[in-house]
Each structure stands twice: as structure tokens, then as C-alpha cells.
């Protein structure tokens, strides 16, 4: 058997997590460097996966398979398709930036403290999340995926509840209350989704007799497995509910603004840019892959909910007074686009949705991390506490603006490509939905520019007068992310080459064909 590359990619951050946690209390900085080193190592392995992946080859590549719980037919099965590769790359790419951006977030308040261990814990938890997310992107066994889907809640819970944003409005105590409220809400919401999914996972096993994606697909193809329509729909709903909570889709979204508002900016990036992607990824792989008929049956409802998410999220973003909550609602709007693209069931829509996941991850990371730098400087999350920052910290304002422009999908930056693909894909299948979604581009401009105008322009506020500009560490986070945004905006081909074949497979799963252009259809 060849070298288990995927296992290694997932195991490296897990080993890193243990190693980081084991660093003695006094050697905090060493722990940080160790965590960064492991995350960079993972990035290298992810790059190897990306290069070894052959776009024209089998659907799942680099596969591994071992018996695990033989009595229930649970196997440790890994394999990666184009969509998985793209998201694996995104995760591995973002984690080093998250770690560098969070460099001082878990430092003890008294710098002399030698018995302080949470710093190590913080970085170990981040690496733990990375390991589980990576494994969930490559798991091709439903049960294995389910376990990871649930297990990643544990480190996330501690990251949200244990390491809050130090820039809060009220007293320490009220901040702690809000933080634990947010963490518990996050956990309960996702556990509720996961529980329903567990029922569906067991149901799937009862019906199909296997947890393996490839086995189920094979059984379907040769006709030995036939699901009754109602069974398929119930199972679909069970899976979809869990993913819609994670994604999050209106009206299951209310945990996200709380969690992102209370967590530190890097952890918020972890939530929205990485962990939430598991939800949309799973919709593509499991909902459409396992239950194509039910997915088509649910399409009208899902598209309606996605449209509501797009418009509703954007309008609420306009109405926010807290920078991070604003970005959270903007993300809800963007997740609406992703889900819209997935369920439009056209090649452009699905390629667009996959690219959207990657691009949204990078653009939100850029915007949120710079916003985090801003918030750390002033110690406040409220938009009203800022004004005229561009005069005192032009580089910070500039990077913030670019992050914002990426969020509003300016052509030339990566999110434009994906947003336009989603819109075109939706429009060709459902013109009205396409037009409603297009209104999102005006609303996005509104919330981004209102945020920029209120914080960065105008007369310099007294409280920001002595604000320093971005430091080298912060530039090392912002500049590469912006470079990636520009590169993927101008030349997204490396990504589309990988994604296109996977989308073709999904399209054949759901047995859909792209609508033909009118002129060609007439001929």
C-alpha cells in the first residue's frame, strides 16, 4: 500500500496539537512557533495533495481504506475529489494566518505570569480543529464523517467560550456571561442538528446496509439498492437540517452572529471561513450525492430559504452596530449564495458555489483579521467608536478596504468570479431567483461602504488619534491574503481545473443537464 498521504495531512496538525499542549507553561512563545510550524507543515502536505491530484482521473483519489468497527460495517475510508481538494487547500492555507493573527490573543493579562497554560491550549485547539476539518473533507465513509462533524464542536466550544474577545462593551462579568451564552448556543444548535443527522445516518445504514459512499453509489448504479421516495426524503431532511445549521441557512442562523461577535477575530475566521464550510461541502457531497431525487424535490424550498438568507443577511448587516456582527450577517448572506449555487443544479452554479466556498473563506479572513487588528487597537467592537482611521493608519484602512471590496465581489478580486458563476448558474435555471439574488450585490455594497465610511473616513476621532499602523506581523497576515485574492480573481484556472470534473460527477449524480442557450436550442 502506498503512503497514506491524506491520513498524514490530517494527522500532522493533530500531532502538532498534542505537542503544542505539552510545551511547559513558561515557554509560551515556543508553543506558538511550534503550532505555526505544524500548520505550515500541513500546508506543505496539502500542496502535495493538490499536486498529486489528477483532475481528469478517478472521482476519489489517494484513497485509503481500513476496517474500523467491523460489526457495523464502519470503515476508515478516505478519498478526495476536486471539491475536497479545494477546501482542503483552503483550510491548510488559512490556519497559518489564523495562528499568526492570533499570536497575542491568548497571552496572559499579566505578562509575568509563569503558570499560565491557556496559551498552549489555545493553539493546540486550533490545530485540533484543523485536523478534524481536514479529515472531514476527505472522509468517504458516512459514519466517519458524522463523528468528525460532531467532534469538531468540542474544540470550537472551548475556543469560543474560553478565549473571548477582550474588546467588549460591558464589564468583565457581563462579557463572560455573553461569551458562555454564545458558546452554549453554538454547541446546542449544532448538537441538535447533529442528533437529527445521527438518526438519518442510522436510517441510511438500515436502508443501504453500508456507510461507504462508493459502495452505496455502486449499489444504486447496479440497481441492487432502491430507496422508497418517502424514505429518501426523510433521510435527506435529516442530513440537510444538520448542514443547514452548520452552514448556516435562514432561519437557523442566529447562533453565528453571537458566536462570531464574542469570539476573537481569528476564532471567528475559524468558524465562518473554515468550520462552516463543512456544512456546505456536505450538502454537495452527501445531500446531492446520496439523495438526488429528494434534493430535487426540496429544491424550491431550499432556494427560497437561500434567497431569504441573501437579502435578509445583507439587510441585517446594514443595521448592525458591531463590526464583527456585521461581518457575521454578511457571511450569512454569502452562505445563501453558496447554497443557491449548489441547489440551482447547473454546472456553473455548482462550480461557482465551490469556488465561492474557497473565495469567501479567503476574503472573510482578510476582512475579519484586519478588523480584528483594528478592534485590538481601540478595544471596542462598536462602529460608532471609530472615525477617520485612514488618516492615522492608512495601510490598515487600505487593507480593510480591499477586504471589504472583496466581500462586495468587486471584479478583479476572487469572490467576483464565484459570485457571478453562482448568479449565472441560478439565472439559467431559475431566472426570478437569479434576479432577486442579484439585488444582493447592491446591498453588499451598502453594508461594506457604510462600514468603511463610518470607521475609516471623516474627521479623526480623539480615541483613534494615536493608533499605530499595521505592524510587520499583521502585514504578514494581510498582504498574502490580498495577493491570493487578486491572483484567484484574475487567474482562477488552477482552481476551476480541479473543481470542474467533480462538479460533472455531482451533475451526473443528480442526473441534471445544463439548460441549453435559447439560440442553440432553436437550431
What residues line the site for another protein (CB under 8 A)?
185, 188-189, 250-251, 253-254, 312, 315-316, 318-320, 347-348, 351-352, 388, 390-391, 398, 405, 410-412, 416-417, 420-421, 423-424, 427-428, 431, 434-435, 438-439, 441-442, 445-446, 449-450, 452-453, 456-460, 490-493, 496-497, 500, 503-504, 514-520, 522
Q: Which is nearer to another protein, 192 or 217 (CB)?
A: 192
Q: Which is nearer to another protein, 104 or 321 (CB)?
A: 321
Could you give the CA distance from residue 379 to residue 385 in angstroms, rounded to a whole number?
Answer: 9
Could you give the CA distance from residue 315 to residue 336 in angstroms, rounded to a whole number?
Answer: 13
Alpha-carbon separation of residue 190 from 157, 254, 327 (angstroms): 11, 12, 21
Q: Which is nearer to another protein, 266 or 415 (CB)?
A: 415
Give the nearest distance from C-beta 394 to another protein in angstroms: 8
Q: Which is nearer to another protein, 143 or 189 (CB)?
A: 189
Nearest to 308 by CA among 332, 324, 277, 272: 332
Give the nearest distance from C-beta 114 to another protein in angstroms: 40
129: helix, coil or strand? helix
Give the nearest distance from C-beta 363 to another protein in angstroms: 15
Q: Which is nearer to another protein, 43 or 488 (CB)?
A: 488
Q: Which is nearer to another protein, 112 or 523 (CB)?
A: 523
Give the nearest distance from C-beta 395 to another protein in angstroms: 9
Nearest to 483 by CA among 375, 403, 421, 404: 403
Give the nearest distance from C-beta 435 to another protein in angstroms: 6
Give the nearest distance from C-beta 518 to another protein in angstroms: 5
Determine the Cα angle at 328 with ends 323 and 329, to 5°: 100
Q: Which is nearer to another protein, 64 or 509 (CB)?
A: 509
Q: Which is nearer to another protein, 153 or 503 (CB)?
A: 503
Show the cell assigned to 112. 509575568
Nearest to 248 by CA among 335, 183, 125, 327: 335
Q: Which is nearer to another protein, 153 or 456 (CB)?
A: 456
Question: Which residues on neighbouring strands pair with residue 139, listed in sequence order?
Answer: 78
Give the nearest distance from C-beta 445 to another protein in angstroms: 4
Q: How many Cα atoms occupy the beta-carbon half-sphere of 410 within 13 Å?
A: 16
User: Which residues lie closer than 8 Å to 459 by C-beta, 6 or more apart?
Assistant: 387, 388
DSSP-assigned letter for residue 84: H
Give the nearest distance from C-beta 303 to another protein in angstroms: 16
Show the cell assigned to 248. 448556516
What is the DSSP secondary-structure string of 329-390?
A: HHHHHHHHHHHHHHHHTSHHHHHHHHHHHHHHHHHHHHHHHHHHHHHHHHT--BGGG---HH
Report CA dihedral (16, 22, 24, 28) to the nearest 10 degrees: 30
Give the nearest distance from C-beta 362 to another protein in angstroms: 17
Alpha-carbon separation of residue 353 from 20, 52, 289, 340 (angstroms): 35, 24, 16, 8
Amino acid at each position: 500500500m502506498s503512503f497514506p498521504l491524506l491520513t498524514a495531512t490530517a494527522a500532522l496538525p493533530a500531532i502538532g496539537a498534542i505537542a503544542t499542549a505539552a510545551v511547559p507553561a513558561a515557554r509560551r512563545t515556543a508553543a506558538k512557533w511550534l503550532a505555526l510550524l505544524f500548520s505550515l507543515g500541513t500546508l506543505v502536505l496539502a500542496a502535495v495533495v493538490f499536486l498529486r491530484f489528477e483532475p481528469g482521473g478517478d472521482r476519489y483519489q489517494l484513497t485509503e481504506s481500513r476496517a474500523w468497527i467491523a460489526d457495523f460495517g464502519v470503515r476508515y475510508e478516505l478519498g478526495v475529489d476536486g471539491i475536497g481538494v479545494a477546501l482542503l487547500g483552503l483550510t491548510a492555507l488559512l490556519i497559518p494566518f489564523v495562528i499568526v493573527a492570533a499570536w497575542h490573543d491568548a497571552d496572559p493579562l499579566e505578562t509575568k505570569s509563569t503558570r499560565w497554560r491557556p496559551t498552549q491550549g489555545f493553539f493546540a485547539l486550533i490545530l485540533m480543529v484543523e485536523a478534524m476539518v481536514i479529515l472531514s473533507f476527505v472522509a468517504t465513509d458516512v459514519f466517519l464523517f458524522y463523528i468528525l462533524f460532531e467532534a469538531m464542536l468540542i474544540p470550537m466550544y472551548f475556543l469560543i467560550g474560553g478565549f473571548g474577545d477582550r474588546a467588549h462593551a460591558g464589564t468583565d462579568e457581563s462579557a463572560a456571561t455573553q461569551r458562555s451564552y454564545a458558546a452554549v448556543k453554538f454547541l446546542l444548535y449544532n448538537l441538535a442538528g447533529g442528533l437529527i443527522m445521527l438518526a438519518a445516518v442510522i436510517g441510511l445504514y438500515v436502508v443501504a446496509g453500508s456507510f461507504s459512499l462508493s459502495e452505496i453509489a455502486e449499489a444504486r448504479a447496479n440497481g441492487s439498492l432502491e430507496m422508497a421516495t418517502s424514505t429518501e426524503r426523510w433521510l435527506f431532511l435529516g442530513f440537510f437540517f444538520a448542514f443547514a445549521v452548520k452552514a448556516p441557512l435562514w432561519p437557523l442562523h442566529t447562533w453565528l452572529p453571537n458566536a462570531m461577535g464574542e469570539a476573537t477575530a481569528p476564532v471567528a475566521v475559524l468558524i465562518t471561513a473554515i468550520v462552516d464550510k463543512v456544512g456546505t461541502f456536505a450538502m454537495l457531497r452527501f445531500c446531492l450525492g446520496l439523495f438526488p431525487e429528494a434534493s430535487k424535490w426540496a429544491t424550491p424550498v431550499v432556494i427560497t430559504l437561500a434567497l431569504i438568507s441573501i437579502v435578509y443577511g445583507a439587510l441585517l448587516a446594514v443595521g448592525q452596530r458591531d463590526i464583527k456582527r456585521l461581518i457575521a450577517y454578511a457571511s450569512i448572506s454569502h452562505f445563501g449564495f453558496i447554497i443557491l449555487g449548489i441547489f440551482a443544479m447547473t454546472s456553473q452554479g455548482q462550480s461557482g458555489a465551490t469556488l465561492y466556498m474557497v473565495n469567501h473563506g479567503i476574503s472573510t479572513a482578510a476582512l475579519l483579521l484586519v478588523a480584528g487588528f483594528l478592534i485590538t487597537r481601540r478595544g471596542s467592537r462598536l462602529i460608532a467608536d471609530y472615525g477617520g482611521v485612514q488618516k492615522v493608519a492608512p495601510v490598515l484602512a487600505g487593507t480593510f478596504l480591499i477586504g471589504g471590496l472583496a466581500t462586495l465581489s468587486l471584479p478583479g478580486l476572487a469572490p467576483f468570479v464565484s459570485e457571478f458563476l453562482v448568479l449565472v448558474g441560478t439565472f439559467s435555471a431559475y431566472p426570478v431567483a437569479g434576479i432577486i439574488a442579484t439585488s444582493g450585490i447592491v446591498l453588499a455594497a451598502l453594508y461594506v461602504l457604510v462600514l468603511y465610511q463610518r470607521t475609516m473616513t471623516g474627521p479623526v476621532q480623539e480615541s483613534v488619534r494615536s493608533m499605530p499602523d499595521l505592524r510587520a506581523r499583521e502585514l504578514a497576515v494581510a498582504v498574502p491574503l490580498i495577493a491570493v485574492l487578486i491572483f484567484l480573481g484574475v487567474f482562477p484556472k488552477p482552481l476551476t481545473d480541479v473543481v470542474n470534473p467533480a462538479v460533472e460527477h455531482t451533475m451526473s449524480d443528480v442526473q441534471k443537464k445544463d439548460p441549453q442557450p435559447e439560440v442553440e436550442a432553436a437550431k
